């Protein structure tokens, strides 16, 4: 074993020695395995992979200049190379463009490896690759080439494998950084880098116009629209909604319901769950379809709580009122008007003495009032009064017939002489007066 120095004055390096040197310098790879160190060199300053760049959508495609290493051999392409790609006749083809090194001539070239038309996989370059690279040839791929039949349209897919990463400064070579920090430039200008440190839990690295790049909590501007879903929100109390109950701006909180049937409503200066008050119901909002049968009873009605404004015309019917559910306390004075009373809904007992009527009469028959007698009869309000002015003698016809024979009274308008009433019926009576004169008449009887 010997320790050798390179490069001494007048000393030359063989291709093998030079290749092994670069292999060890760039990657630290085993120089006895030429396949371990190969690929396209990165940009000298660690920038983009701009060596052997392919371009073109139709034949020929161009492969640009650049440096590469194949089997520990440094390859330099100093002028763009055009690669001709013929158009398949019937089915698409999947070719490859490769960089090949030939050991026997110590030369390199760029060539197209073609697949069969309609092949499922890209062309293999195994035929150009020896098991022992020092025997004949060794290759590395540059681009996959997809060709459309008839039109010859081409799509290039990058297969270049970059090397030279060891030239990038390693972590151990960088100066120490501050605790919990990254190295960068926070200001919106070119200049030296510095530590950008996080000072509290939960901070993230963000950029703002005012403060530049730094660790801070996420602001509204840092959230995408609709990015906060239910799983991200904090847990809520049982049977609650999230909101602001107080009459002031501030943080939201849980607004909970503690009983069945409650609704969320404003009450005074707060929002909470509770029952619906009168202020929450508009005029004419409740009609018969909103009440369960028999649901309106005294227990649920306060004194003077209902007047005609609260009900749609005709909405109160028997189906929606329980027995004995309404008494005088439930109605505001004057609230019962004709629009809210059904036809024939008020009987004699309800009216009493407030409406004029016969309280009683004497006679000899319960139906026919003209029969004499001393029996007392109660007539109530079903009594009809009819009157008129006539000229006799003659027959008088009542405007409306009675249900039975009424009592008929006649008084003279002028002198009648001798007269009397005859032939009284439910519809007519006859005044007998031979002299003839005007007279007044009054008939009282049952409707």
Q: Give pLDDT, residue 23.
A: 57
Q: Which of 1.10.3420, 3.40.1130, 3.30.160, 2.60.40 would CATH assign to domain 40-167?
A: 2.60.40
Of 185-189, 408-412, 425-429, where does the model show the most confidence? 425-429
115 is written with which tokens? 């697949």
pLDDT in tens, 174-214: 778 899 999 989 888 888 889 999 999 988 998 887 778 99
* 134: pLDDT strictly greater than 70: no
Q: What percent of the chain has pLDDT over 90?
A: 30
Between 6 and 386, the more confident residue is: 386
Between 29 and 122, the more confident residue is: 122
* 346: pLDDT strictly greater than 60: yes
Nearest to 445 by CA among 387, 375, 376: 387
Q: Find residue 431's DSSP bridge partners.
A: 394, 421
Residue pair 439/386 in contact (Cβ under 8 Å)? The answer is no
Residue ranges of the alpha helices (H) in 130-198? none
Nearest to 141 by CA among 154, 129, 132, 153: 129
Position 411 confidence tier, pLDDT thresholds 50, 70, 90: confident
Position 442 confidence tier, pLDDT thresholds 50, 70, 90: very high
Q: Give pLDDT, residue 139.
A: 87
Residues 6+ apart with CB under 8 A from 386: 398, 399, 400, 406, 442, 443
Residue extent(s) of CATH 2.60.40 domains in the chain? 40-167, 361-446
Q: Give pLDDT, residue 362.
A: 86
Q: Find residue 199's DSSP bridge partners.
A: none
Phi, psi (5° rounding) for residue 361? -150, 165
Q: Is the pTM of this model over 0.95?
A: no
Q: DSSP string of 53-75?
A: -EE-SSSSEEE--EEEEETTEEE
Residue pair 396/429 in contact (Cβ under 8 Å)? The answer is yes
CATH class, domain 361-446, is mainly beta
pLDDT in tens, 152-182: 999 999 998 877 544 445 566 577 889 999 9
State the CB neighbour count (10 A cutoff) for residue 57: 10
Position 4 confidence tier, pLDDT thresholds 50, 70, 90: very low
Give the gyration radius of the chain's Cα atoms. Answer: 58
Residue pair 54/82 in contact (Cβ under 8 Å)? The answer is no
């Amino acid at each position: 074993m010997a320790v050798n120095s390179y490069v001494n004055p007048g000393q030359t390096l063989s291709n093998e020695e030079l290749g092994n040197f670069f292999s060890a310098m760039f990657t630290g790879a085993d120089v006895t395995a030429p396949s371990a160190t190969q690929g396209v060199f990165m940009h000298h300053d660690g920038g983009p992979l701009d060596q052997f760049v392919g371009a073109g959508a139709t034949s020929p495609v161009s492969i640009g200049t650049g440096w590469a290493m194949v089997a520990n051999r440094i390859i330099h392409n100093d002028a763009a190379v055009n690669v001709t790609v013929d158009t398949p006749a019937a089915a698409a083809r999947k070719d490859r463009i490769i960089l090949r090194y030939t050991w026997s001539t110590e030369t390199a070239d760029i060539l197209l490896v073609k697949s069969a038309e309609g092949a499922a996989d890209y062309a293999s370059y195994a035929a150009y690759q020896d098991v022992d690279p020092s025997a004949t040839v060794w290759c590395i791929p540059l681009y996959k080439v997809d060709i459309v039949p008839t039109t010859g349209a081409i799509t290039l897919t990058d297969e270049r494998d970059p090397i030279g990463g060891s030239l990038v400064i390693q972590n151990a070579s960088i100066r120490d950084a501050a605790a919990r920090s990254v190295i960068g430039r926070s200001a919106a200008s070119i200049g030296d880098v510095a530590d950008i440190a996080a000072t509290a839990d939960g901070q993230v690295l963000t950029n703002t116009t005012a403060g530049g790049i730094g660790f801070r909590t996420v602001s509204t501007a840092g959230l995408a629209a609709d990015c906060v879903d239910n799983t991200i929100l904090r847990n809520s109390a049982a049977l609650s909604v999230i909101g602001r109950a107080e009459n002031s701006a501030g943080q939201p909180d849980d607004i909970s319901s503690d009983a069945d049937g409650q609704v969320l409503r404003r009450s005074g200066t707060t929002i909470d769950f509770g029952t619906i008050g009168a202020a929450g119901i508009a005029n004419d909002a409740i009609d018969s379809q909103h009440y369960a049968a028999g649901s309106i009873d005294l227990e649920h009605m306060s004194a003077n709580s209902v007047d005609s404004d609260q009900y749609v015309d005709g909405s109160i019917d028997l189906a929606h009122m329980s027995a004995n559910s309404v008494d005088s306390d439930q109605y505001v004075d004057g609230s019962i008007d004709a629009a809210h009373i059904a036809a024939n809904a008020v009987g004699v007992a309800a009216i009493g003495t407030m409406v004029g009527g016969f309280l009683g009469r004497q006679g000899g028959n319960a139906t026919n009032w003209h029969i004499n007698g001393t029996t007392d009869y109660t007539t109530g309000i079903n009594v009809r009064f009819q009157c008129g002015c006539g000229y006799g003698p003659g027959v008088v016809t009542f405007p409306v017939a009675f249900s039975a024979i009424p009592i008929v009274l006649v008084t003279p308008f002028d002198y009648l002489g001798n007269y009397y009433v005859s032939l009284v019926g439910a519809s007519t009576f006859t005044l007998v007066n031979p002299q003839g004169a005007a007279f007044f008449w009054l008939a009282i009887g049952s409707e």
